[in-house]
Homo-oligomer: A and B are copies of this chain.
Amino acid sequence: MARPTNVGIHAMDVYFPTTYVSQTDLEEFDGVSAGKYTIGLGQENMAVCGEREDINSVCLTAMENLLEKYGIGYDQIGRLEVGTETIVDKSKAVKTTLMSRFNEHGLFDVEGIDSKNACYGGTAAVLNSLAWVESSSYDGRYAMVVCGDIAVYEPGPARPTGGAGVFAMLIGPDAPLVVEPGVRGTHMEDVYDFYKPTMVSEYPRVDGHLSNACYLRALDGCYNRYADRYEKAVGEPFSLSSADYSVFHAPYNKLVQKSFGRYLWNDWLRNPTAHPELDAGFQEYAAISADESYTDRAFLKHLVNISKERYGQMVQPTELITKQCGNSYCGSTYAGLLSLISEKQDELDGKRVLLFSYGSGLAATQFSIKVADGAGVKEIAEKADVHARLADRTKITPEEFTAVLAHREESYTKFDYSPSRPVSDVAKGTYYLTEIDALERRHYARALHTSAAPLLAAAQNTAAGTAPRMVHRQGVRALPRFTSLMAPAVRLARRVFHR
């Protein structure tokens, strides 16, 4: 069988929580100078997950919403991989929790598992999925990637760089967003710039200055390897002018602003005539060492200045979600892509998008997407409906935000409890945690807010002895509890309600 071609992204959606805190409010609350977060970090708002959301619930929500919006059945998914660093279990993958929905439909044959390394897991999942579609194991069903995180930091300067978001994507051949084959560039190193060795805490250890330098070093490595492969594959010189848009992993927007000009610097190092108007300015920095170039203030400022106009064209349209939701770690690069789609839905046909994905530790990859079908992209924008959903969120105060994080801290290793926050707060269609039981197992339900719907919906029997039970109560459908511990007779007798 011939290898499938034009493999890429067919569908895409985001889940972000319905509550957020304003960075302006946070500046005041933290007693820092006005603009420290909004200009210094370049962030506007930060998404905040409530007590009833954990990484499993937000991934369930993202997956289910995508499939519902596109009318795709679980039976059309042949591979599902999760990328996250929000670890609530050192063994059990988030993917297995997502399988609960497939199992309810009698489906079990879905390859893929969790990929883990800081913010790189999403891209690892995407690359693995692309390879699967191109491989002899591809069976015509979609590969699905669910990636994202709940990013929280201890009180202090890193706290406003948190955020939350999960992205779900369908990957297959002949996609509207084709990931260009054979041209990506990867850079990996052993370094402790951001890591989570403290088992009793959800917070990372971060060396911010080191991490910024690592990010730039990885960007140099990836960009040059990407460019080398592009030139070999396409037979033309590569420079930033070869691309139309540029998406970054965005821990906070200011780092993206500082990084973009580096592409032009790399172009100049590769070929001084790539951008003739920049040659004189770069000549002044010809002697700068690689290490100095990551920290020298004058040089970094020069990069920002000379790239401002291009930044407005190529990067600004990619900032919507990351500025409004903050860092979603494994989702961040895909936040940039979906922002671009949301902002430029009518202008993307035939365009090339460069993507840079970075995960501390470190793992980074540069790849590119060629838009093959403008109409398909427009459909993604309409279905994701990002602008309206962002506008529809509820602002909470810095005090409430602080209380939410204090509660996360307290409950991080807690079990044998049910969250106290009322279920009526949970937005329709959102999965939420109902209980962490005495054996530390997590249980979920989905908010429907339509008391009769589940019982009136079509019912079906699933494969004997293997499918979880659906419990109807209080207008929500609960996901399985104690499923496999139930007596066989109970299991054989039960029926599964689903839409």
Q: Does A236 contact B (CB under 8 A)?
A: no
Give CA–CA (A173, B360) in the complex, Å: 32
The reply to whether B190 and A103 contact each other, CB–CB distance below 8 Å, is: yes
Chain B contacts for A134, CB-based, 8 A = 3, 131, 134-136
Chain B contacts for A408, CB-based, 8 A = none
The reply to whether B198 and A200 contact each other, CB–CB distance below 8 Å, is: no
Which of B99, B181, B193, B441 sits near A136, CB closer than 8 Å? B181
The reply to whether A95 and B110 contact each other, CB–CB distance below 8 Å, is: no
Q: CB-nearest residue of chain B relative to A5?
A: B136
The reply to whether A109 and B415 contact each other, CB–CB distance below 8 Å, is: no
Which of A161-169, A240-248, A285-293, A313-321 contacts its partner?
A285-293
Give CA–CA (A488, B213) in the complex, Å: 12
Closest CB in chain B relative to A85 CB, distance in Å: 5
Known A108-B188, A113-B115, A466-B189: A90·B196 in contact at CB below 8 Å: yes
The reply to whether B196 and A484 contact each other, CB–CB distance below 8 Å, is: no
Which of B108, B127, B196 sits near A221, CB closer than 8 Å? B108
Chain B contacts for A120, CB-based, 8 A = 93, 113
Give CA–CA (A120, B112) in the complex, Å: 10
Chain B contacts for A92, CB-based, 8 A = 117-118, 192, 195-197, 360-361
Chain B contacts for A136, CB-based, 8 A = 3, 134, 181-182
Which of B127, B190, B412, B488 sits near A96, CB closer than 8 Å? B190
Q: Does A87 contact B (CB under 8 A)?
A: yes
Chain B contacts for A289, CB-based, 8 A = 464-465, 488, 492
Most buried by B among A95, A413, A442: A95
Band of interface residues on A: 35 or more
Give CA–CA (A195, B439) in the complex, Å: 10
The reply to whether A189 and B108 contact each other, CB–CB distance below 8 Å, is: yes
The reply to whether A91 and B109 contact each other, CB–CB distance below 8 Å, is: no
Give CA–CA (A261, B3) in the complex, Å: 38
Chain B contacts for A100, CB-based, 8 A = 190
Most buried by B among A111, A130, A131: A131
With A109-B187, A198-B413 already in contact, 4 other A-B pairs whose C-beta atoms are closer than 8 Å: A92-B195, A93-B118, A109-B185, A110-B186
**27 A–B contacts from the bound complex (CB under 8 Å):** A3-B134, A91-B195, A92-B197, A92-B360, A92-B361, A95-B188, A96-B117, A96-B190, A97-B190, A98-B190, A99-B190, A108-B189, A113-B117, A113-B124, A113-B359, A115-B115, A128-B131, A189-B466, A191-B484, A195-B441, A197-B415, A199-B199, A210-B484, A289-B464, A289-B488, A290-B465, A291-B464
Closest 3 A/B residue pairs (Cβ): A291-B488, A93-B117, A136-B181
